[in-house]
Amino acid sequence: MYKNSKINFSFAILFFTVIPFTACYGQQTTNNVKQTKTLRKLENAVNFIVMGDWGRNGEDHQQLVADQMGITAAEIGADFIISTGDNFYPSGVISEFDPLWRTSFEDIYTAFALQWDWYPVLGNHDYKSNPDAQVAYSKISRRWKMPARYYSKKIKIPGTNEEMLIAFIDTNPLIPEFYKNLEYGPNVQTQDSTTQKQWLRKELNNKSSNITWKFVVGHHPIFTGSDARKEGYDTKAVRNSIKKLIDEEEVDVYLAGHDHSLQHIAPKGKTHYFVSGAASEATQVGMLPDSKFAQSEYGFMLFSVNAEITLVQVIDYKGNLLYASEINKN
């Protein structure tokens, strides 16, 4: 179990929806933040790593990113790890005993500092085989914590009575095209996206005065510069399905993967959108008008959250700090 935590699991299941889109195309675009190797850690904070799109038997930089994650987690004292999905390439796992659990997970993320709890969501590649096998693995793994295809957690902020709420959702059933897809369809068709969205609203509408921060984690982005030339149907569908809900429930941060890049997008409104999907592969990315940062680089994100500030630091596989940003609660 991670430190100073209070966990509240809720279970249930999800559906779909559009917004104008413009972008500047770029192979590797950033806001020219100077690379450094200095990391910060807030006082009285929950500290965690966010990574995604990783399971490749250690290949294509997965092992290098994993090694740096271990170094960073030890330096900062990470409490847990969040995976934004596409946990196993190319086609998920077939059971909780699939050999990929060892070759893509257990034998890769071996650093002691990465032995705390992992909280994953399902990606589209995970839907190609048996997504429920990743739920089942939670029963035999000490660190893999996926109690259902979607679930929520409350985490106590150290030194306070405050909590952060994290809702982990399954974005795959929110995409109408997936229902007739030969690979995703069989596992999507069993899901009730309307029920999942009702559940999500109930979780986010929690009236507890102790909840300071609201985070939502899903595999597919709501905004992304990776669609710089033509926006993908999956991005549109997820945005049309849940952005209104996220706005109405005043979510602070939406975390996603799917696109193999590192991004921070801050459109008008309360919610900050982050893409962390470069834990084993890096692909082209562009800057949107609302982008604060976008880079095609192997790496991950480090979050430090206290009662007043969320500090986000983007780190590459060599340990360089590519970007840092603070979100103030008030």
Encode pLDDT of 252-261 as tens digits: 999 999 999 9
Given pLDDT bands bounded at 50, 70 and 90, which one contains residue 207? confident
- The pLDDT value recorded for residue 280 is 97
Q: What is the pTM of this model?
A: 0.88
Rounded distance between C-alpha atoms, residue 148 and residue 138, angstroms:
9
pLDDT of 228 above 50: yes
Average the pLDDT over 169-195 and give the result: 95
Between 158 and 19, where is the model more confident? Answer: 158
Specify the CATH superfamily of domain 46-328: Metallo-dependent phosphatases (3.60.21.10)
Encode pLDDT of 123-157 as tens digits: 999 999 999 999 999 999 999 999 999 999 999 99
Average the pLDDT over 287-314 and give the result: 97
**Do the beta carbons of residue 52 and residue 171 sit within 8 Å?**
no
What does DSSP say about strands 272-276 and 253-256: parallel, antiparallel, or unpaired? parallel
User: What's the start-to-end Cα distance of the chain, in Å?
Assistant: 31
> Phi, psi (5° rounding) for residue 211?
-80, 115
pLDDT of 214 above 70: yes
The token pair that represents 168 in the structure block: 């982990």
The token pair that represents 31 in the structure block: 């806001």
Average the pLDDT over 204-215 and give the result: 90
Give the orientation angle of helix 233-248 with respect to helix 193-204, to 10 degrees: 40
